[in-house]
Structure 1
Amino acid sequence: MAEEAEKDSAEQGGGKSKKKLIIIIVLALLIVLGGGGAAAFFLLGGDPSPEETASAEPARKDAIYTKIRTLEGKPMFVVTLQSDDEARHYMQAYVEAKSRDQEVVDALELHMPLVVARLNTLFSTQKFETLMTIEGKRAMREQATQTVQSIMQDKIGRPGIETILFTNLVMQ
């Protein structure tokens, strides 16, 4: 009887170890397959292909910044400002034009003397007291943008530039 009990317990113990082994293998397969499926989902299904992106939205060109320079190559404007207090006030401005088309940049460089002359006139007619405010500086930037855009409109048939930027503006 003792021998039969040992035989039964050995058969049951062997069955339990086989069941544990099968359960471990099935769990390992589920983990591997689940991880592989998740990796495939995130890596392959994430971003659209470049062709899909190009067809969905038009490509936006990078901005091109052109320094507005005098014929002598000076990178800034220096003008005397009008003032109510009759004191002499000066403004020094470094100016750049922002566009996204090389053709516009080439036209801007070709017509740089005209652009410089018109901006010089615009800057020298500004009032010191007005430019002391943020609104005054913004208004002058808008006027400068409109001036350069009108020149480009006359020369190449379109405004061409997005905006004029003051990269440095000093007044005294």
Structure 2
Amino acid sequence: MSAAAKTADEGDIPPAAVPKAKAPVLAMIVAVMVSAAASGGAAFWFSSHGAAPAAGHGEEAKKEAPPKAPAQYLALDPAFVVNLEDPDASRFLQLEIQVMARDAAVLEAVKLHQPRIRNALLLLLGQQRTAQIADRAGKEKLQAAVLAEIQKILKDETGKPGVEAVYFTSFVTQ
């Protein structure tokens, strides 16, 4: 049998008839890898540079809040010292308070209206009972009441509450 007949019988394809498919497949793989790398790089760049998503995504588009200004603190000096409303004994509360705002103008307003603020806080603190402020929950409730009182005064005087938080930096009952 001749070599050509033997090749046809065994099902072998002569080397000249084999298509050169390796080059296009390799080119396609390289193209896919380059495309994936470019997509990944673009996604990284947009996420790290804070680019906004394309318009028209409705609820999916997140609105970025502007960065907050740094917190600024002001101590309401001197410390508050009041008699507590306790029918069984003479009890005292000594309390140091600091207010926090993110705008220097708010702290200037607190300084300007400090006599009114201190008066309101002395009246508020003097109404407390030892049992009411003995645990953490009671102290946090008092802290919220102090904040509300300061914000109410600032809103009356300046038109906005301004102060974001109050902190007790010393709290002594006796």
TM-score class, shorter-chain normalisation, is 0.5 to 0.7
5 Å-filtered alignment, 1:4-153, equals 12=15, 19-40=21-42, 42-46=43-47, 47-49=50-52, 56=63, 59=66, 61-62=68-69, 64-70=71-77, 74=78, 76-86=79-89, 88-153=90-155
Q: Which amino acid aligns with 1:43?
A: F
Question: Which runs of no fewer than 5 residues in structure 2 stay unpaired?
Answer: 4-13, 56-62
Report how far residue 165 of structure 1 moved: 3.0
Determine if contact 1:65/1:96 at 8 Å carries over to the other structure: no
Letter in 2 for 1:48: A
Evaluate the alpha carbon distance shift between residue 65 and residue 166 of structure 1 in structure 2; reply closer, same or farther with a 3 A threshold.
farther
Task: Flag structure 1 segments of 5+ consecutive residues without an equivalent.
Answer: 3-10
Detail structure 1 runs of 4+ shifted over 6 Å in the superposition.
none
On the 8 A contact 2:71/2:102 being kept in 1, the answer is yes
Q: Which has the higher helix share?
A: 1
2:44 corresponds to which letter in structure 1? L
CA–CA distance in 2 between the matches of 1:29 and 1:58? 40
TM-score (norm 2): 0.63
**Secondary structure of 1:151's partner?**
helix
Deviation at 1:58, TM superposition (A): 5.9
8 Å Cα contact 2:72-2:104 kept in structure 1: no
**1:68-109 Cα deviation digits (max 9, x unpaired):** 322xxx4x33334232431x4333323122334332211111
CA distance in structure 2 between the partners assigned to 1:24 and 1:105 by the alignment:
68
Equivalent position amino acid for 2:173 in 1: M
Cα distance 1:23–1:66, how it changes in 2: closer, same or farther (>3 A)? closer
C-alpha spacing 1:148/1:89, structure 2 compared with 1 (3 Å): same
The question of whether the paired residues in 1 share the 8 Å contact of 2:72 and 2:103 is answered with: no
Distance (whole Å) between structure 2 residues aligned to residue 104 and residue 30 of structure 1: 58
Q: Is the 8 A contact 1:63 1:98 kept in 2?
A: no
Aligned residues: 159
Provide closer, same or farther for how the CA distance between residues 150 and 34 of structure 1 changes in structure 2, counting only shifts above 3 A.
Answer: closer
3-state SS of paired residue (2:172): strand
With normalisation by structure 1, the TM-score equals 0.64
Aligned-pair identity in percent equals: 24
